[in-house]
Amino acid sequence: MARLHAQPICVASALAIPMLVLAQPAWLTLSGVGPSWAVLWLLPWALVDGPISGAIAGAAIALVLDGLGVDGLTQLPALVLLGWWWGRLGRRGRPIQRSLNLGLLAWIGAMVVGVSLWLQLRLVQGLDAPLLQHWAWHLCLTQAVITGLLAPMLSSWQLLVWRRRSRA
Amino acid sequence: MAASQWPAGPRWRGGRRLWPWLALFVVLALVRWSKGAGFVDAYALLSRPFWPGSAQKEWLQSAGTLEQKAQLELLRQDNARLRDLLELNRGSGDGQVAAAVISRNAAAWWQQLELGQGASAGLASGDAVIGPGGLIGRVQSVTPTTARVKLLTAPGSKVGVWVPRTRQHALLVGVGTARPQLRFIDKDIKARPGDLVSTSPASTLLPPNLPVAVIQSLNSRAVPAPKGVVQLIAAPEAVDWVQVQTR
């Protein structure tokens, strides 16, 4: 069984994440808010490749995305946690492949990332204006919804391709 | 008794002959009173096909624009000389670099722009970024070919501004939304919605007297100091090209 992280083409697919974050296609946004591309890529990866690989992939993506951000905020803890959790879900029980399940997991993942960033703004940077709270919750929920809607289309396709490659 | 030389008849016949002259006199008096308005209007209507062509009008307009430009340049030079005397920041005018926006994240956790010009074009961290109409942010970091701009709307962004009409200083604080918050330093504010917000004329970090926003609403009862919400003049979500004021 060839693991995903041993296949260069699968690892190289992660390069699409920073490119998509920078490009932010306007036709894939919900009221101007784009999906969490990291969550959409990490979900199928962790489900196929396991918790250790998922956590490491989450950390690697987070480091790249943190470099693209201004400063002061990090996605590292949220993506490592999600990679580990999804990896464990993929190893235990029946394989997750239904659209609703993938959409729900992606929704939860985007919410976890959003809430972790909001907590950092509030606790680390000390920003707590009412307008800021309103904006943060709006951003959290909108990003979670668009991520959850795109997951059944994108992540299920990735899951299918990567499962085939991992069995080959 | 000899016959009279005047035609005979009732007295009203003479008045009947006289009234056209009286009417004419009244009309002429009206023309005089209106300073010949009717005649001028009639003349304008009749002579319209023979008016000077648009070429001369454009020439006059371009001359007016040139005159305004020259006056602006002279005032700018005068302003720069006076600012030098006062040892203040030189301000706008020279050292502007045009840069294309190559990536935009105006509605994300990181509210930033990526520009297609970097350190090789003279850009440096802290440079002011100006959109069409006013300031939109400051350069956060640069690579040789790109620059990252932290928008004024980004959470945690803080820029010192002032209200020129009332000459009061305030802090423009980004709260994520498209409308940043204005925190006044004085408790007694005279600003009102509709006032322009610009960079301070004594600013050393940003170009002075640069338009930033317009006050949209004010809460004068806010504690510890009055607060307001402003609308940025240049909308970051719609900007494709910006000017970077290099230092």
| Alpha-carbon distance A163 to nearest alpha carbon in chain B (angstroms) | 32
Whether residue B2 has pLDDT greater than 60:
no
pLDDT value, residue A44: 93
Query: What's the confidence (pLDDT) of residue A85?
Result: 94
Residues whose CB falls within 8 Å of the CB of residue B183, separated by 6 or more in sequence, listed in order: B170, B171, B172, B173, B225, B227
In chain A, the number of structural domains is: 1
Residues in chain A with CB shorter than 8 Å from the CB of B237 are: 32
Mean pLDDT of A37-55: 93
The confidence score (pLDDT) of residue B6 equals 57
Phi and psi for B86 in degrees, rounded to 5?
-85, 0
How far, in Å, are A50, A59, A70, A79, A134 from residue A84 at the CA level? 8, 10, 27, 8, 31
Q: What is the pLDDT of residues B24-55, one digit of tens each?
A: 888 888 877 877 777 778 878 888 887 767 77
Say if residue A1's pLDDT is above 50.
no
Contact B177 A33 (CB under 8 A): no
Give A76's pLDDT tier (boundaries 50, 70, 90).
Answer: very high
- Alpha carbon distance B14, B20 (integer Å): 11
**Helices A130-167, A99-119: inter-axial angle, 10-degree rounding:** 140
The H-assigned helical ranges of chain A are 8-12, 16-23, 37-49, 51-68, 76-91, 99-119, 130-167
Contact call for A33 and B108, based on CB within 8 A: yes
Note whether residue A94 is domain-resident: yes
Query: Which pLDDT value is given to residue A132?
Result: 82
Query: From B181, which residue of chain A is nearest by alpha-carbon distance?
Result: A131
Tell me the pLDDT tens digit for each residue of A85-99: 999 998 887 778 788
SS (H, E, C) chain B: CCCCCCCCCCHHHHHHHHHHHHHHHHHHHHHHHCCCHHHHHHHHHHHHHHCCCHHHHHHHHHHHHHHHHHHHHHHHHHHHHHHHHCCCCCCCCCCEEEEEEEEEECCCCCCEEEECCCHHHCCCCCCEEEECCEEEEEEEEECCCCEEEEECCCCCCEEEEEECCCCEEEEEECCCCCCCEEEECCCCCCCCCCCEEEECCCCCCCCCCCEEEEEEEEECCCCCCCEEEEEECCCHHHCCEEEEECC
Residue A147 pLDDT exceeds 80: yes
Any CB–CB contact under 8 A between A72 and chain B?
Answer: yes
B106: which chain A residues are within 8 Å (Cβ-Cβ)? 32
**For residue A29, which residues of chain B lie inside 8 Å, CB to CB?**
107
In chain A, the percentage of residues whose pLDDT exceeds 70 is 98
pLDDT at A168 over 70: no
In a domain, A168, yes or no: no
On whether residue A146 sits in a domain, the answer given is yes
Query: Which pLDDT does position B161 carry in this prediction?
Result: 92
In a domain, A145, yes or no: yes
Write down the ipTM of this complex.
Answer: 0.82
Res. A6: pLDDT tops 90: no
Please tell me which residue, B224 or B89, carries the higher pLDDT value: B224
Residue B85 to residue B29: CA distance in whole angstroms: 64
What pLDDT is stored for residue A91 in this prediction?
84
Lowest average pLDDT, out of A33-37, B59-63, B95-99, B149-153, goes to B59-63
Interface test with A, best of B109, B153, B183 (most A CBs within 10 A): B109
Go through chain A and tell me how many residues it has.
Answer: 168
Residue A128 lies in a domain: yes
**Structural domain range at position A156:** 4-163
Other Cβ atoms less than 10 A from the Cβ of B60: the count is: 11
Let me know how long chain B is.
247
Question: According to the model, what pLDDT value does residue B1 have?
Answer: 47
Return the pLDDT at B4: 55
> Mean pLDDT in chain A?
88
Question: Quick check: is A11 in a domain?
Answer: yes
In angstroms, the separation between the Cα of residue B43 and the nearest Cα of chain A is 59
Nearest to A70 among B107, B140, B229 (CB): B140
Neighboring chain B residues of A136 at a CB cutoff of 8 Å: 155, 176
Q: Worst-scoring range by mean pLDDT, A2-11, B195-204, B226-235? A: A2-11
What is residue A106's predicted lDDT score, i.e. its pLDDT?
Answer: 95
What would the two tokens of residue A8 be? 């260069």
Give the chain B residue whose CA is nearest to the CA of A134: B177
Per-residue pLDDT, A2: 60
Using a pLDDT cut of 90, give the percent of chain A over it: 46
Query: Please, what is the average pLDDT of chain B?
Result: 83
Spatial separation of the C-alpha atoms in residues B150 and B111, rounded to whole Å: 6
| A21-35, B83-97, B191-205, B218-232: range with lowest mean pLDDT | B83-97
User: Closest partner residue to B105 among A24, A71, A73, by Cβ?
Assistant: A24
What is the nearest CA distance from B131 to chain A, expressed in angstroms? 19
Contact B107 A31 (CB under 8 A): yes
* Amino acid at site A84: W
Q: Does B182 touch chain A (CB under 8 A)?
A: no
Tell if the CB–CB gap between A135 and B177 is shorter than 8 Å: yes
pLDDT more than 90, % of chain B:
20
Q: Note whether residue A105 is domain-resident.
A: yes
